[in-house]
Structure 1
Amino acid sequence: MSAKRDISVLVQRTLRTVRNFLLSPKSREFLIFLFFLVVAFFFWMLQKLNDTYEMELAIPVRMENVPDNVVMTMPPPASVRVQVKDRGTVLINYMLGRSFYPLPLDFGELENESGRIRVESSSFQKMVTSQLMNTTQVGAIRPYAFDIVYTRGKAKRVPVVVQSKVTTEKQYYISEMHVSPDSILVYAPEEILDTLTAVYTKSFACTQVDDTIRRHEILAPVFGAKFVPEGVDVEICTDMYTEKKLEIPIHPVNFPADKMLKTFPSKVSLTFQVGLAHFKSVTENDFLITVTYDELLKCNSDKYRVKLKSFPNNVSYIRIDPPEVDFIIEQVNTFETP
């Protein structure tokens, strides 16, 4: 209570000091001075913005009508830099509120037999000017020229491999992973296609996952190759582990006709973990425990250690109870039919 009272007294004292300062004659003089200073700065800024300045604008470049089998080994630049000159108010408008349409390059009009296209930036002059104010003077456009190198590649369909590191919450596991599309078309020169067996997504990581994840992943680029499409949709499904228990019989294998195996018990309990989605579908028929006649002949005791011969892929942490069973091999009388 004492601390709260001290804080309250301090706040009241501070407010009283501020109020006394604002109501004092010196404070009124300071506020009037500050007001005229702001007004003077505003008019000074207006005057300065009416002066002429120069700046560079970045205007994007876009390649259009490119066939799928054309691979750009040297693509055009993402943008060109345009030197402009105008009043400060106009240039601020370009910087803050103006967006520019991409400068189009029609591949169908520019292609030739050499596989190399030379573009002079001066050819953009009219398109650049049409997007600017009438008072703006356009200077140099850089780069002054650039080359576009391309090749017509063959196509090959290759599978997509997801590069990921996904960890789940406790009691969860990754049940399925779907990739759409699971394969893509790669356009490239024949010497590159011969070495490609798969394409990979860019690596990503997810931690403590307990629900389905859906992501759009871009494919890791391969120099000289073009992917169609350039990305895939990845769906990672999770499921929760649960425990299940089944009784599984022991099956004798390769026993002579006059021999019969008896084990005690005749069945063993299997306890294992399985996802909720597969809980009902996993049954006794999915497991197999066998013992051969030769194994028992080589056994030096009357106990046999149970071995699981087959089980489904979607179960884990299997425990057998009991791990060993008693057994006897009985002689069976056989009678020939006359």
Structure 2
Amino acid sequence: MKRSNSFIKNSKWKSFLFFLFLASLFWLLTKISKEFIAPVSATIVFMNVPETVSIKETNADEITFNLFTNGYEFLGYKLKQPSINVDVSKFKNENNTIQISSDELLKEINEQFPSTRAVNTLNLDALRLKVDPIVRKKVPVVINNKVTYKNGYRLIGAIAVSPDSVFVSGPQKNVAEIDSVFTETVLLELLEDNISKKINIIVPQMAGISMSNKTITASWVVKEIAQKEFEIPVQVINKPSGVIIKIIPNRVKIKVDVTLDHFNDITANDFEVFCDYDERNTDENFMIAHLRKKTEWVEHIELATQKIDFLIFKE
């Protein structure tokens, strides 16, 4: 009998809680279905920004206004903040400031919300956008590369980069700080043949910066190298008249690196070694030897001796 009474009491208590939940739910649904005026915050999205300017990051990116809405919609706005698109091209830029009045903002907002939802109050009297003029500047491209060559092979000339410069565009202050742009690092090992690679350019980490090109093509001309030695007579230029100058040594050795396809074309006549008497060291009686080449086929030249002693005799 006691167990039966306990079961009845538990059933009544559960029924009471169930109907209390339904009543609370009905009350809540009734409340949030009612319409009222509430403040709503929205993110500002600037659209159709003229190509001649950029919006500064310090500008306001959020706006608050009173909206006639119901609880369902208000809850949705709290869970997911709405956004307002502002067409910047509609408004005039004066002294790098675009001013949008509260009336113009209200018009933009009301056009984007349901027609039954009226917006009537903003948290500002006007939206003043500070803008930077967009400028364009041509800067060189610097290639980052780590390259090794097979023994006996070498890069001929410089790495060919195309294009070798790009136009960077952006806010005047940021563009002024850019003197060159760099590529991603290229790793090449033990090259023995010509090679070309497309490489990405690293965009400078500055607000509003864009580039005319995002990639370049770099080319390496690689050839096998051999070494030749020559003994070249030393000449003296700017020699005064009425004297005889004896130089020691009067011939110097040079070592040159030449590509195999031009190895037999290079002769001693392709080089000159000279000393300038006007640049002599009068305290120790010596001159510095300089080398002049007459060919483009030589990749590297090594002058064995640069210090040339001299003696002066009267004629």
TM (normalized to structure 1)?
0.46
TM (normalized to structure 2)?
0.48
